[in-house]
């Protein structure tokens, strides 16, 4: 009888917390009457809990940027343009950087253009019968590498760099000098010297000539079949001009008449990028430079300028990312934390990820979950104080009863907030075992002997 009384006394002491005190969800802080509101986690309360305002911490902009150009300078480069992305931009935002406005200038004849000279001819059967579309003798002349056209009985006439009226004056003088009737008209039949390359996320990439009328960005895109990017939020039109890269987000382009009317210049390369990765645009620009300047000594310098501009920005981004990582390792950049207590596998704090929401299931099972032997699946709580750090008047205990395994689905939808505490209570038998383990052996040994004797 005496051993039974001793066991009963031990159980009573355990129950009243004399031998063993275990954490549990109670009224509030020691010595005050803070209210603890217990709210069952249900589909409806999950929606209510998730409505509380919270913005996950963002990584620095350098982690979302791709290499562009920077304000650094290098030998022979001159001042480079400002970065495509600004540090104050939110990650994932495409910055707008527009090329300088081009002045209105008349078209100038260049190497490769085909000039058409039309001179009057006498009547013929073909002309009178309407079999010919024109009553002039029309002959095309290609501007050669030396900038001249070769006209029979006249010789070579230098016209490169001239406007059409200037070229007409030059041809007129040479015809007079050759004692040939100077009655003629001159026009450009093929525009091959002033062209714009266009590639990337367009229907028909290729080369578009600049004619006597200005070529604007919207016309170039339309001639290429339009932008085919699926997600315009991350699509941009990048323009490479004179060793510098400019960027126009597609959303901004569609919203602005002024951006659509950007005048393009000879040698511009346009790349519609839908991957938010400058590597593809760089490869395209290099191809354009290689093709258009293959026989020019400036090709090497142009490629070096592009690679240097991209390299400067890549180095700057790497330095910014490295500085942030170093600050993190030294504790200067702290993420938001959630704390795990009670019968979890590891009592610890869980760092909430950057730029993403965290759920109860994420934090609980990232740290190994809770103990099935000692943890009470009926009593899983998320303890949350007031959003005001000065307010200790109330604590909400969001209660998940996981005895029904289907309720774990709610844990994958329940969003956590910084400084939440995940608490798993202990099993009643766990409390008993721990209380018994603290009773001195001198008390328990007679009990054990009595049990064995029976």
| Residue 437 burial (10 A CB sphere; 0-12, 13-18, 19+) | exposed
In a domain, 62, yes or no: no
In a domain, 175, yes or no: yes
Same domain, yes or no, for 361 and 415? yes
Q: How far apart are CA 440 and CA 257, in angstroms?
A: 87
Which CATH number does the domain housing residue 301 bear? 3.10.560.10
Q: How far apart are CA 200 and CA 208, in angstroms?
A: 14
Same domain, yes or no, for 91 and 200? yes
Look up the domain containing 213 and give its range: 67-105+194-327
Most confident of the ranges 120-124, 133-137, 359-363, 449-453: 359-363
pLDDT of residue 185: 84
* Number of domains into which the chain is organized: 4
Same domain, yes or no, for 306 and 239? yes
Same domain, yes or no, for 208 and 75? yes
| Of 111, 121, 256, the residue nearest 190 (C-alpha) | 111
Is residue 51 helix, strand or coil? coil
Q: How far apart are CA 95 and CA 354, in angstroms?
A: 22
**Residue for token pair 């290499």:** 67
Confidence grade of residue 24 (pLDDT, cut at 50, 70, 90): low
pLDDT of residue 92: 53
pLDDT of residue 3: 52
Same domain, yes or no, for 254 and 373? no
Half-sphere exposure of 338 (CA within 13 A, CB side): 27
* Averaged confidence pLDDT in the chain: 76
**Domain termination residue (choose one: 301, 327, 353):** 327
Tell me: the pLDDT tens digits for 395-433? 888 899 988 888 889 989 999 999 889 999 888 765 656
Same domain, yes or no, for 128 and 266? no
Tell me: the pLDDT tens digits for 232-249? 777 889 898 888 888 888
Same domain, yes or no, for 213 and 91? yes
Same domain, yes or no, for 247 and 304? yes
pLDDT of residue 98: 87
pLDDT exceeds 50 at position 42: yes
Question: Which residue would you say has higher pLDDT here, 243 or 12?
Answer: 243
Give the number of other CB atoms < 10 A from CB of residue 151.
18
């Amino acid at each position: 009888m005496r051993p039974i009384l001793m066991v009963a006394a031990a159980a009573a002491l355990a129950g009243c917390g004399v031998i063993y005190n275990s954490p549990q969800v109670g009224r509030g802080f020691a010595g005050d009457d803070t209210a603890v509101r217990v709210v069952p986690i249900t589909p409806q309360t999950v929606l209510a809990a998730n409505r509380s305002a919270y913005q996950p911490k963002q990584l620095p902009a350098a982690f979302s940027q791709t290499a562009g150009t920077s304000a650094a300078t290098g030998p022979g480069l001159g001042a480079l343009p400002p970065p495509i992305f600004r540090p104050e931009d939110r990650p994932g935002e495409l910055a707008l950087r527009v090329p300088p406005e081009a002045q209105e200038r008349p078209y100038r004849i260049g190497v490769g253009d085909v000039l058409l000279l039309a001179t009057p001819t006498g009547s013929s059967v073909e002309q009178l019968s309407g079999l010919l579309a024109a009553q002039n003798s029309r002959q095309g002349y290609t501007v050669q590498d030396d900038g001249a056209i070769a006209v029979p009985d006249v010789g070579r006439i230098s016209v490169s760099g001239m406007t059409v009226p200037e070229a007409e004056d030059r041809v007129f003088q040479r015809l007079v000098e050759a004692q040939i009737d100077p009655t003629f008209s001159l026009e450009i039949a093929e525009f091959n010297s002033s062209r714009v390359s266009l590639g990337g996320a367009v229907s028909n990439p290729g080369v578009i000539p600049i004619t006597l009328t200005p070529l604007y960005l919207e016309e170039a895109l339309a001639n290429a079949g339009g932008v085919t990017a699926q997600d315009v939020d991350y699509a941009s039109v990048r323009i490479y001009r004179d060793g510098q890269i400019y960027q126009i987000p597609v959303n901004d382009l569609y919203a602005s008449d002024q951006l659509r009317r950007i005048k393009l210049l000879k040698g511009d390369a346009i790349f519609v990028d839908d991957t938010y990765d400058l590597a593809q645009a760089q490869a395209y620009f290099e191809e354009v430079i290689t093709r258009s300047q293959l026989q020019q000594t400036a090709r090497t310098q142009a490629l070096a300028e592009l690679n240097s501009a991209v390299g400067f920005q890549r180095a700057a981004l790497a330095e910014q990312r490295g500085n942030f990582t170093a600050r993190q390792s030294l504790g200067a950049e702290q993420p938001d934390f959630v704390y795990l207590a009670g019968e979890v596998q590891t009592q610890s704090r869980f760092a909430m990820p950057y730029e993403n929401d965290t759920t109860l299931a994420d934090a609980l099972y990232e740290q190994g979950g809770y103990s099935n032997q000692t943890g009470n699946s009926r009593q899983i709580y998320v303890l949350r104080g007031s959003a005001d750090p000065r307010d200790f008047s109330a604590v909400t205990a969001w209660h998940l009863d996981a005895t029904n395994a289907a309720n774990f689905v709610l844990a994958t939808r329940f969003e956590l907030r910084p400084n939440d505490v995940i608490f798993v209570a202990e099993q009643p038998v766990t409390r008993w075992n721990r209380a018994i383990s603290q009773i001195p052996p001198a008390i328990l040994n007679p009990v054990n002997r009595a049990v064995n004797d029976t």
